[in-house]
């Protein structure tokens, strides 16, 4: 059969080519650049982008064949298989990268002096123990920690749970000369919304 690739919209698309394209479906506009199929940029148009995933999956192979010159059908299919492979790997890479970043940040915050001091005060509080029971477990802290040499500032929130209930801790801490102190540390009961100052 004559190689009709790159012949534009009027070019005949071989049946072996005109199939669902996973690379176009998964990588959308990135695949579009690599395959000279710039209609894929409609992914940036609100509402249109909702259907473009499926349009690219269904029509992507035909468009890529018509828009770009290929050496052969096998060359085309081999290249599209690579796009599909990268389309499947890319989400996994994103999950691993962002999961790794989240784990690193969470671990850093959990090992911080501000968090450790707040947890210590929480477990020493008789009022909190009456509300939650014992033992008390704490969750992953969210917020921010800013450091500048031996000084720092922390603004954290994390969950706490015991046999009798649950709650949340809000912490504002300051580090001066390598020593953390809590400027604010409040426990809030999840059920009653009662607040207990942990610095008492």
pLDDT at 91 over 80: no
pLDDT at 15: 92
Q: How many residues does the chain have?
A: 200
Q: What is the mean pLDDT of residues 48-69?
A: 94
Q: What is the pLDDT of residues 8-21, one digit of tens each?
A: 999 999 999 999 99
Q: Residue 26's closest CA among 71, 86, 116, 109? A: 86
Q: Phi/psi at 4 (nearest 5 deg)?
A: -95, 5
Q: Which position has the higher pLDDT, 178 or 42?
A: 42
Helix ranges, the chain (H)? 22-34, 48-67, 73-110, 113-124, 126-132
| Average pLDDT of every residue of the chain | 90
pLDDT at 1: 66
The whole-angstrom separation of Cα 86 and Cα 108 is 32
In the DSSP assignment, the letter for residue 37 is -
pLDDT at 51 over 80: yes
Q: Is the pTM of this model over 0.85?
A: no
In the DSSP assignment, the letter for residue 108 is H
Burial 123-132 (b: 16+ CB within 10 A, else e): bebeebbebb
Handedness of CA 26, 28, 30, 34 (dihedral sign): positive
The answer to whether the beta carbons of residues 57 and 21 sit under 8 Å apart is: yes
| Pairing state between β 137-138 and 142-148 | unpaired
The angle that helices 73-110 and 48-67 make with each other, rounded to 10 degrees, is 140
Q: What is the pLDDT of residues 96-138, one digit of tens each?
A: 888 888 888 778 888 888 899 999 999 999 999 999 998 999 9
- For 70, residues 6+ apart whose C-beta sits below 8 A from its C-beta are 3, 5, 6, 76, 79
pLDDT at 88: 84
Dihedral in degrees, nearest 10, Cα atoms 53, 58, 60, 66: -150
Omega before 135 within 30 of 0, i.e. cis: yes
pLDDT at 24 over 90: yes
pLDDT at 102: 80
Q: Residue 80's closest CA among 9, 11, 13, 12? A: 13
Q: What is the pLDDT of residues 146-170, one digit of tens each?
A: 888 888 899 999 999 999 999 999 9
Q: What is the mean pLDDT of residues 55-72?
A: 95
Q: Residue 40's closest CA among 69, 72, 5, 64? A: 64
């Amino acid at each position: 059969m004559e190689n009709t690739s790159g012949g534009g919209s009027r070019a005949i698309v071989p049946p072996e080519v005109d199939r669902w394209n996973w690379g176009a479906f998964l990588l959308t506009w990135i695949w579009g650049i690599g395959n000279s199929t710039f209609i894929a940029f409609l992914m940036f148009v609100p509402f249109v982008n909702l259907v473009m995933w499926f349009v690219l999956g269904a029509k992507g192979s035909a468009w890529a064949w018509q828009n770009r010159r290929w050496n052969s059908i096998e060359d085309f299919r081999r290249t599209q298989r690579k796009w599909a492979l990268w389309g499947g790997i890319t989400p996994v890479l994103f999950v691993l990268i962002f999961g790794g970043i989240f784990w690193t940040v969470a671990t850093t915050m959990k090992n911080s002096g501000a968090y450790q001091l707040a947890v210590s005060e929480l477990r020493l509080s008789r009022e909190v123990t009456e509300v939650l029971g014992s033992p008390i477990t704490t969750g992953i802290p969210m917020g921010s920690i800013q450091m500048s040499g031996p000084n720092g500032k922390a603004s954290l929130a994390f969950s706490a749970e015991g046999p009798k209930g649950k709650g949340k801790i809000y912490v504002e801490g300051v580090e001066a000369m390598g020593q953390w102190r809590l400027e604010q540390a409040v426990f809030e009961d999840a059920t009653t919304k009662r607040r207990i100052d942990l610095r008492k």
